[in-house]
């Protein structure tokens, strides 16, 4: 189980490593477009603003396409063979799944409680995936589909079909199986997922009327639902309307910023509903505590590279308010850590609210500073002192609690891998020594995983061994190999004995006619030859 968890965690890191750079780009673009800092340069009609808008739009690539990023990223680590082909199979299957959902909702949307004519985003529960209007299942849907396809790939990719239908083996066969499996999965998703979305929306009324408890529930759900994408149903009606005010808390806050700046009354009395927009505090104060805990528990020899990863992820969270680079580092490796994080984040925000802190604080430090601290500090500085006192206290709580849990349960976070004394990379001398020590009874016996590996190994030896190979490709039926020395090449008869249908020699360019299983043979050939 731990081995599988570690493998899945390492797979999740593949797309997560892309987040910090893109988060920094978005954060910098937001900073350089801020009128309070750059004045007239930040006018929408100014070239400066337009250039940074262009860059910012590029920076949102990863965050706007997270389902596709995770869908394609996971097979890279989870596929046991031919990872690139697994990525293609996952992508095609996911597109098929969303086309199925699109058709189901177009035909039976009203019966399923879905208004498929609504605009995507907000509380509609709809989104676009690869240009397809479909249900917003966020990265959960992508991970489920990717996991299913990887399982199919690992199970059926090397399945040998009769020669007459051999064109369908390999990736086509995996996609064919997935094609039919996606239909019942799309039907189940179309039936049950809107119910989950509606349940989330029904909580709004209770949260609005429950005071500090309502704020805590709001903040907890906003965090804990991030992996599902359902957190949009929590904060969108509050932040952008109409759950509290028609235009949304953010717009209302900015429109009345002048009034808030002039009043000396506690802002919680003036606009208590702004307590629902305190979730940015976990982005500023939780991230440093979590990152320090991960860094402190990493092996000393790994801390330098882990520190570089954590620094970028933490700055992205603190300044830009984008938490995925850090949270996804431990979310799927230790989900209970994420649950504890959601509880602490909600408790921190609810504590601030109980002590009088409110504001437009849903983003990162840049947004919070420019719409809260800078314009309101003169009359409301005491509220911000409370905010920092509570926030920094929770930074310490995060650090000590996460450090304890990571060490206590030996959570395999980045930097904590260590090699046992029995594990090493074997050299050629080690191999030769082992081979020399084998008994005569076993030295002539070679075991293979399957027929593909057997063919690949025989072809490699008939081509003169891996030192004689310079390049490997394939077409639909032929393994194309470039060799250094054709003098080491064996006869066509020997290749046919190894399973080839024929041999074509054109100088140093060799074509082994394998048949429709050539892609599977090539995978093993590359593995054995080190290509």
Q: Tokens in use for 457?
A: 């190994």
Instruction: Render 24-39 in DSSP notation, one character per residue.
Output: HHHHHHHHHT-HHHHG
| Distance (Å) of CA 370 to CA 33, 36, 113, 129, 427 | 12, 7, 41, 34, 59
Q: Which of 32, 69, 17 is nearest to 319 (CA)?
A: 32
Contact 278, 359 (CB under 8 A): yes
Q: Which two tokens stand for residue 477?
A: 């039926």
Query: String of b and e for 6-35 (b: at least 16 CB within 10 Å)?
Result: eebbbbbbbbbbebbebbbbbbbbbbbbbe
Specify whether 87 is catalytic. Answer: no
Give the Cα separation of 138 and 228 in Å (integer).
6
**Burial label, 336 (beta-carbon count in 10 A; 0-12, 13-18, 19+):** exposed
Compute the CA torsion angle 64, 338, 394, 400 (nearest 10 deg): -130
- Choose, from 475, 496, 497, 509, the residue flagged as catalytic: 475
Would you call 522 exposed, middle or buried from its count of C-beta atoms within 10 A (0-12, 13-18, 19+)? Answer: buried
Q: Which two tokens stand for residue 308?
A: 């570089």
Active site residues per annotation: 475
């Amino acid at each position: 189980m731990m081995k599988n968890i570690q493998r899945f965690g390492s797979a999740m890191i593949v797309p997560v490593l892309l987040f910090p750079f893109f988060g920094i780009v978005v954060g910098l673009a937001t900073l350089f477009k801020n009128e309070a800092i750059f004045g007239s340069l930040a006018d929408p009609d100014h070239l400066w603003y337009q250039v940074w808008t262009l860059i910012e739009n590029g920076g949102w690539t990863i965050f706007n396409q997270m389902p596709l990023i995770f869908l394609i990223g996971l097979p890279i680590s989870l596929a046991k063979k031919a990872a690139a082909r697994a990525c293609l199979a996952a992508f095609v299957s996911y597109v098929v799944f969303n086309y199925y959902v699109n058709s189901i909702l177009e035909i039976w949307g009203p019966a399923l409680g879905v208004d498929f004519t609504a605009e995507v985003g907000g509380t509609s529960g709809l989104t676009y995936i690869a240009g397809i209007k479909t249900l917003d299942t966020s990265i959960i849907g992508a991970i489920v589909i990717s996991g299913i396809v990887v399982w199919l790939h690992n199970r059926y990719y090397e399945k040998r079909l009769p020669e007459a239908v051999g064109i369908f083996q390999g990736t086509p066969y995996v996609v064919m199986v997935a094609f039919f499996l996606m239909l019942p999965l799309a039907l189940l998703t179309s039936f049950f997922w809107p119910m989950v979305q509606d349940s989330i929306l029904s909580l709004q009324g209770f949260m609005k009327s429950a005071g500090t408890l309502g704020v805590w529930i709001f903040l907890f759900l906003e965090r804990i639902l991030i992996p599902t994408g359902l957190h949009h149903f929590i904060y969108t009606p509050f932040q952008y309307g109409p759950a509290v005010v028609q235009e949304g808390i953010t717009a209302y806050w900015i429109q009345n910023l002048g009034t808030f700046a002039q009043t000396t009354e506690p802002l919680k009395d003036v606009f208590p509903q702004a307590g629902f927009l305190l979730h940015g505090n976990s982005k500023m104060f939780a991230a440093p505590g979590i990152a320090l805990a991960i860094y402190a528990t990493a092996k000393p020899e790994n801390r330098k590279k882990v520190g570089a990863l954590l620094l970028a992820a933490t700055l992205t969270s603190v300044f830009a308010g984008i938490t995925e680079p850090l949270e996804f580092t431990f979310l799927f490796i230790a989900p209970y850590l994420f649950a504890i994080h959601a509880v602490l984040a909600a408790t921190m925000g609810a504590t601030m609210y109980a002590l009088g802190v409110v504001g437009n604080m849903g983003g990162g430090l840049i947004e919070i500073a420019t719409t809260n601290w800078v314009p309101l500090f003169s009359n409301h500085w005491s509220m911000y002192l409370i905010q920092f006192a509570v926030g920094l206290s929770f930074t310490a709580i995060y650090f000590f609690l996460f450090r304890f849990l990571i060490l206590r349960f030996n959570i395999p976070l980045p930097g904590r891998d260590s090699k046992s004394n029995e594990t090493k990379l074997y050299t050629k001398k080690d191999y030769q020594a082992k081979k020399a020590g084998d008994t005569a009874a076993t030295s002539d016996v070679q075991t293979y995983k399957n027929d593909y590996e057997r063919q690949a190994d025989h072809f490699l030896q008939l081509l003169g061994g891996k030192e004689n190979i310079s390049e490997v490709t394939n077409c639909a039926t032929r393994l194309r190999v470039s060799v250094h020395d054709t003098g080491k090449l064996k006869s066509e008869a020997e290749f046919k004995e190894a399973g080839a249908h024929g041999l074509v020699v054109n100088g140093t360019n060799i074509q082994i006619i394998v048949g429709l299983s050539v892609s599977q043979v090539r995978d093993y050939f590359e593995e054995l030859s080190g290509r």
